[in-house]
Amino acid sequence: AQSVSQHNHHVILSEAASLELGCNYSYGGTVNLFWYVQYPGQHLQLLLKYFSGDPLVKGIKGFEAEFIKSKFSFNLRKPSVQWSDTAEYFCAVRSYNTDKLIFGTGTRLQVFP
Amino acid sequence: EPEVTQTPSHQVTQMGQEVILRCVPISNHLYFYWYRQILGQKVEFLVSFYNNEISEKSEIFDDQFSVERPDGSNFTLKIRSTKLEDSAMYFCASSTGQNQPQHFGDGTRLSIL
């Protein structure tokens, strides 16, 4: 069965620190990959997506992610976090022939000024 | 930016009662989805809906669940006889196409007593 693992459950950083959140998935076929963010009290918002092409994708608010097919990974990065990045971050995978998104458990990021 | 809207934001229901959760997808979207998140667990896919029929459903989506698009704007999830374990956050999502990003609503928190 397909699954998504996010190894960091809770990350605490100071402003200006660099961020990398891990995401690994288990599925051997073609996949679409997503990172969603949920700010406190708000809905899930799409940060970035990978469908094909350049494995380094850039999203909103300075976030980027790199798809490494050989490692089944899609890690999220930001060089310098801000207090406003405090939120929960979800990695999600969709196999090419299906509708459903499979989510990881989420990573709670707290950024302190 | 157009949004997916869900009502109510919080629903409290007695076990065994029927509940209907409502969603208004983004107006030009054609694919509709329901997901749920039990407290402390992953966001899980329930069902996808296109062209007035279910296109995919998960094992969770048993005979107690049904979906409907009763008019041109609403998309509803009905649970016929609620159980304690149905307590969760229910998210509606919509997209323009099967392989396009899904846009999520704020969710309805369902509490079964």
Contacts of B89 (CB under 8 A, 6+ apart): B36, B37, B38, B39, B107, B108, B109, B110
What is the C-alpha to C-alpha distance for residues B48 and B57, in angstroms, rounded to an integer? 6
Q: Which of B55, B86, B52, B88 is nearest to B72 (CA)?
A: B52
Nearest CA in chain B to A31: B99
Percent of chain B scoring above 70 in pLDDT: 99
Q: For chain B, give the number of residues.
A: 113
Q: Which of B56, B83, B88, B78 is nearest to A101 (CA)?
A: B56
The mean per-residue pLDDT over the stretch B19-47 comes to 94
User: Does the pLDDT of residue B96 top 80, yes or no?
Assistant: yes
**Is A100 within 8 Å of chain B by CB?**
yes
> A102: which chain B residues are within 8 Å (Cβ-Cβ)?
45
**Is A112 within 8 Å of chain B by CB?**
no
| Chain B nearest CA to A99, separation (Å) | 6
**Is A99 within 8 Å of chain B by CB?**
yes
Q: How confident is the model at residue B41 (pLDDT cuts 50, 70, 90)?
A: confident
Q: How confident is the model at residue A47 (pLDDT cuts 50, 70, 90)?
A: very high
User: Does the pLDDT of residue B14 top 80, yes or no?
Assistant: yes
Q: How confident is the model at residue B13 (pLDDT cuts 50, 70, 90)?
A: very high
DSSP secondary structure, B55-70, as one string: EEE-TT--TTEEEE--
The mean per-residue pLDDT over the stretch B92-99 comes to 91
Q: So what's the pLDDT on residue A67?
A: 95
Residue B65 tokens read as 């669940």
Percent of chain A scoring above 90 in pLDDT: 81
Q: So what's the pLDDT on residue B85?
A: 95
